[in-house]
Structure 1
Amino acid sequence: MSAPTSCDAIIIGSGQAGNPLAVALAGAGRRVVLIEENLLGGSCINYGCTPTKTLLATAERMHHIRTAAEVAAPLLPGAGTLTVDLATAIARKTQVLEALREGVRSNLIDENPGITVLAGHAAFTGPHTVAVALAEGTRELSAPLIFINTGTRTAIPDNIEGLTDSGYHTSTTLMELQDLPEHLLIVGGGYIGLELGQMFRRFGSKVSIVENGPALLEHEDADVSGALQSALEAEGIRFVLGAQARRVSRSATGLTLTAHTAQGTRHLRGSHLLLATGRRPNTDRLGLGYAGIQTDEQGYIPVDSNLQTKVRGVYALGDVHPGPQFTHLAYDDYRIVRDALLHGKRRSARQRPLPYCVFTEPQLARIGLNEAQAREKKVPYRVASMPVSVIGRARHTSQPAGFWKVLVGDDDQLLGAALLGGQAGEVMSVLQVAMTGRLRYQQLQEIIFAHPIWAEGLNNVFRDLRRP
């Protein structure tokens, strides 16, 4: 093999950290090679946020039609039994993501001549050398800076018998179905399982969710996860908690999932099976050992507070390093590295807020500490909660489900919040800005919000603060 082609930076993976970093480095005059084995845009555009939220919009519109009578609108004939035209919904989803993918391609290739995009699989051959398997052969590259942004894939459990023979879906394959499942069985009660479960229930499927823990969303307070479970049960979703899925079998009439519970063995019958059992990093085929990079037990790449691995000049960005897996954090990884390399500004990746939103209806939005985390960290706090039903906007829109809970420290500044209700993610963003600006809760109580918007509830939620 000839000597490696040198460049200034190699980026492995076209995700939400890698793409903008390529543009920033190229804009600063660096020669950048970006390598993508699959589809440009990473998991967010192709398998995660874009397809999921596009299809959730379809499900929400259908739900609004079915429930029109709640706001005294006449119910159209047949609306109560409305089911989705799934093939059309999938086609719309595909059209949306193809447009976004084309935008990524144009931005990387047409608008930035300093970026070379290669379609192939990359693997390390040394600390700063990479071999790329292309259709026309193997090409070896070298660079002082290498960024790993290869994302994750569905973790397939190895303790459920019969998966391969019986067949199953991941979140990716489920969103390519052309025919509506009669009864969707879901293993996993995290945000992926809940969002897709409510989506297909509103599409017209029966849905049963099996979770091995005692509650949904293991990182949430019990009152929050319990309230969301009640809202989803009201739509007809069945939950089996504290259940270990052990075996799946298929017959002429469908699937049978066998789960062990404290009350005995359960047999759940359905037509389709979704595994929403977490994610695993795409690091096992990168040849990391040749670079001197080790992974943890789950395959994630440890990094320091600057997102650098133990090999100088090699970074891990996005979901391949340990920590929460969200698009907005991956994008912030890009900003941390960009500022350090191009602007001489350093900011720790370990000292940043974690906002996130579960796009069920009602939405669940979280920022900062919850009660369990505050107790674990021994952080003194006061807590207040308020039912969403008292907010004027909830009454106007007939969306009374849920509650808001806020935590305040001894300095009167916000420690965190969990909001379950309509437009919770948007209201949570107001709290995040207040936390960033170190506002005291009294300032939020006195802000003049436009009437009648959801955020107006922030004038009242702090009214009954108390020690736990």
Structure 2
Amino acid sequence: MKKYDVVIIGGGAGGLTVASGASSLGAKVALIEKERHLGGDCLHVGCVPSKAFIQASKDIYTARSKGKELGLDVSGSVDLGKVNERVQQSIIAIQKHDSDERFTSLGVDLYKGAGTFTSANTVRVDDQEIYGKRIVIATGSRPLIPPIEGLNDAGFWTNENLFKQKELPENLLVVGGGAIGLELSQALSRLGSKVTIVEKGKKLLSTEDESIQKAAVYILEKELTIHLNSEVKKVQITSNGRKRVTIHKGNEHYTEEYDQILLAVGRKPNSERLNLNAAGVFQDERGFIPTNEKLQTNVPHIFAIGDINGKFAFTHVAGEEGKVVVQNAILGVPKKMSYNHIPWNIYIQPEIFHVGMTEQQARKFGIKFSVYEVPLTDVDRFISDQEADGLIKIITDQNGKIIGAHAIGNGSGDWMQAVVFAMKKGRKIGDLSQMIYPYPNHAAAIKRTADLYWRSKLFSGTIPKLTKKYISWFR
């Protein structure tokens, strides 16, 4: 039996971070991956293909809408097969960074197959059993398939098969109005499908700040048909191959026909094949594996990172958790994972950016706060780009320290990073005003918002009265 300093189950973002970090420090590492290629869902069916898909839809939408404004006549239908060819090209290009050769060259032993615990320190892969002084579970998640009558017989799409499709449905039903559902709904609508979203909740984007949520819904409703408080109960195949869907809304129910169904109702952890009982590892009723601040499970030498621990289902979080595990499991240096300044983006157009508290959260926790908000119609670059839909909002405590920042605007996931840095370093909103922003750029939205802080401090109250007297004397 081969023995390792660390055995990693799962070759996605988190697992690869641990593998590269641990091997670079001199640890003997085994990496187990059940799929043919490393990279996990993010690379093959998640972040990378979805963003390539969204960009293709944006290109089409821009050509049609902006072209018409400029006197161009853009016509024709989209070839979904061509779109997905471009998506696959993006995957192939990035796959080189996560190749088997890269990790074997680092000294990592790769095992292709499903890893299953046989004890708290041993894992079986096919007919091989290996020993790990430390073990990291990074098996990720997959689309949740709801128990809807007739759904399996009727067939459906998820993010796992969407990016291999060649026929664009004329009428598409999207079940689920979360981030994935909204991103793909808008993209497919812009490619040419008539898209209807059925969402069980009372509103969309419930975790976002109210100002952002309202602005986003206003924009999305221009392109999508959205049914809230609604649930799909039954699917039947019609004689012409379409899908007849029964939808319940309160005490009412109705039927509609669609060419295809896309599921986006959440994620399910990949934990059932791990045989966690053999290792004594606890999992909750949903199958997620709880961890402490050091990312240890209830068995101290076994760690869980990424989607599998049920905290934040983001690739960048899995990578950060991987770094924490390297310190704890490989170096033995106590390190706690902090989620205080985790940003995220929702890649609809315009993008939504989120970090820290929302205004409703600050109010709920009884925090005394101030809000500084600017519409993008006040920012010259967005006006010149003809992309001024959106706003930026920064929330501070009474001392000006940033406790939350939110935006909806073209590229906000990029130009809002300065705020993340300021929060991480404990800087105040006024510091963002002191930076010099090249004119005209998108990040000037941050400056305009931060300037509101100084206006409230310098140009109200007693200071203007004192400066008026001083100026009069100075003359």
TM norm structure 2: 0.91
Query: Kindly tell me: are residues 258 and 463 of structure 1, through their superposed partners in 2, closer, same or farther at Cα, counting changes over 3 Å?
Result: farther
Identity, in percent, stands at: 31
User: Given that residues 389 and 400 in structure 1 are in contact (C-alpha distance below 8 angstroms), is that contact kept between their aligned partners in structure 2?
Assistant: yes
Query: Kindly tell me: are residues 40 and 30 of structure 1, through their superposed partners in 2, closer, same or farther at Cα, counting changes over 3 Å?
Result: same
Tell me the distance in 2 between the aligned counterparts of 1:32 and 1:306: 20
Tell me the distance in 2 between the aligned counterparts of 1:349 and 1:186: 35
Tell me the distance in 1 between the aligned counterparts of 2:188 and 2:396: 38
1:33 maps to 2:26: no
1:224 aligns to what? Answer: 212
Shift of 1:16: 0.5
Shift of 1:246: 1.3
Tell me the distance in 2 between the aligned counterparts of 1:170 and 1:139: 33
1:99 maps to 2:108: no
Q: Deviations over 1:352-399 (max 9, x none)?
A: 412000111010000100012212322221112221122111111111
Q: Find the partner of 1:23 among 15, 20, 25.
A: 20
Q: Find the partner of 1:238 among 225, 230, 235.
A: 225
Q: Which amino acid aligns with 1:362?
A: P
Tell me the distance in 2 between the aligned counterparts of 1:404 and 1:183: 34
1:124 aligns to what? Answer: 117
User: Given that residues 108 and 115 in structure 1 are in contact (C-alpha distance below 8 angstroms), is that contact kept between their aligned partners in structure 2?
Assistant: no
Q: Which amino acid aligns with 1:45?
A: L
1:365 maps to 2:353: yes
Q: Find the partner of 2:138 among 115, 131, 149.
A: 149
SS at match of 2:202: coil
Tell me the distance in 1 between the aligned counterparts of 2:45 and 2:286: 21
Tell me the distance in 2 between the aligned counterparts of 1:451 and 1:328: 31
Tell me the distance in 1 between the aligned counterparts of 2:159 and 2:7: 30
Shift of 1:69: 4.1
Unaligned runs of 5+ in 1: none
Which segment drifts farther, 388-397 or 255-264? 255-264
Unaligned runs of 5+ in 2: 457-475
1:313 aligns to what? Answer: 301
Q: Find the partner of 1:187 among 163, 171, 175.
A: 175
Tell me the distance in 1 between the aligned counterparts of 2:150 and 2:212: 35
1:258 maps to 2:246: yes
Q: Deviations over 1:182-216 (max 9, x none)?
A: 11100111010011001111111110111111111
TM norm structure 1: 0.92
1:270 maps to 2:258: yes
Q: Deviations over 1:60-115 (max 9, x none)?
A: 11111112247x53313xx1x44322112211211221232243124544522x21
2:438 aligns to what? Answer: 450
Q: Find the partner of 2:9 among 7, 12, 24.
A: 12
**1:38-437 equivalences in 2 (<5 Å):** 38=35, 39-69=37-67, 73-76=70-73, 79=74, 81-112=75-106, 114-133=107-126, 138-158=127-147, 160-234=148-222, 236-253=223-240, 254-262=242-250, 264-343=252-331, 345-437=333-425
User: Given that residues 122 and 130 in structure 1 are in contact (C-alpha distance below 8 angstroms), is that contact kept between their aligned partners in structure 2?
Assistant: yes
User: Given that residues 215 and 225 in structure 1 are in contact (C-alpha distance below 8 angstroms), is that contact kept between their aligned partners in structure 2?
Assistant: no
Which segment drifts farther, 27-36 or 271-280? 27-36
User: Given that residues 162 and 249 in structure 1 are in contact (C-alpha distance below 8 angstroms), is that contact kept between their aligned partners in structure 2?
Assistant: yes
User: Given that residues 216 and 226 in structure 1 are in contact (C-alpha distance below 8 angstroms), is that contact kept between their aligned partners in structure 2?
Assistant: no
Q: Which has the larger radius of gyration?
A: 2
Which segment drifts farther, 81-90 or 326-335? 81-90
RMSD: 1.8
Equivalenced residue count is: 452
1:461 maps to 2:449: yes
Query: Kindly tell me: are residues 58 and 286 of structure 1, through their superposed partners in 2, closer, same or farther at Cα, counting changes over 3 Å?
Result: same
Shift of 1:278: 0.3
SS at match of 1:157: coil
Which segment drifts farther, 339-348 or 325-334? 339-348
